[in-house]
Amino acid sequence: MSAISEVFSSLRNQKRRALMPFLTAGDPDLAFTAKVMQALAEEGCSLLEIGIPYSDPIADGPVIQASYTRALAAGIRLNDIFQMFSQTLPTLSIPVVAMVSYAIVHRHRVADFVNRARDCGLAGLIVPDLPVEECEALRERCLASGLDLIQLVTPTTPQERAITIAQRTTGFLYYVSVAGITGE
């Protein structure tokens, strides 16, 4: 059972809900990100979702877009983020998932990206711009590496498609509760 599945199993047994805050890696800097991650883990969050800054996010609103812009303007790059993860994640008592654009995964080669994600201690990936019909190579690589690949459904996802997505996701199914962008 994955670390994420274990968290949700434990919460179900305790009849508790999960709290999974979102942070942008590197906003305002990676040292601050690491400190906030540690504080959130210590204060009882169930999991953490860390956004990997991307110049052209498709589903993020102005608040998250601005945080990505600040991080990128400060010179934050994927190698820096993985280095911070390598130092920080082993000290946390909760799983961490990265939300990342497929453009970043693809640019760094799927196998290499997944291996680095696993090696630094990530528990899973959320790749919002990769449709379930096109995710098999990434999904297989994640499964082989012990990472969950979390899929998304929205209020407008047709039922048949939602069933397919639910069958293909691992860790948890990410339900985007409103149609449109997030982080407004």
Would you call 49 a catalytic residue per the annotation? Answer: yes
pLDDT tens-digit readout, 12-22 = 999 999 999 99
Higher pLDDT, residue 179 or 141: 141
User: Which residue among 42, 43, 56, 60 is the active-site one?
Assistant: 60
Is-above-0.85 flag for pTM? yes
Alpha helix (H) ranges present in the chain? 3-13, 30-42, 62-73, 78-88, 102-107, 110-120, 136-145, 159-168
pLDDT tens-digit readout, 154-163 = 999 999 999 9
Confidence of residue 180 (pLDDT cuts 50, 70, 90): low
pLDDT tens-digit readout, 97-152 = 999 999 999 999 999 999 999 999 999 999 999 999 999 999 999 999 999 999 99
Reported residue count of the chain is 184
Domains present along the chain, CATH in parentheses? 3-175 (3.20.20.70)
Q: For residue 181, what pLDDT is reported?
A: 61
Helix axes 110-120, 78-88, angle to 10 degrees: 30
Rounded CA separation 33/166 (Å): 31
Residue 182 scores a pLDDT above 90: no
User: Which residue among 6, 42, 43, 49 is the active-site one?
Assistant: 49
Is 181 buried (19+), middle (13-18) or exposed (0-12) by CB count in 10 A? Answer: middle
pLDDT tens-digit readout, 36-72 = 999 999 999 999 999 999 998 877 788 999 999 999 9
Omega of the bond prior to 95 within 30 degrees of 0, cis? no
Element (H, E) at 148: strand 148-150
Q: For residue 177, what pLDDT is reported?
A: 83
Cα 96 to chain centroid distance, Å, stands at 7
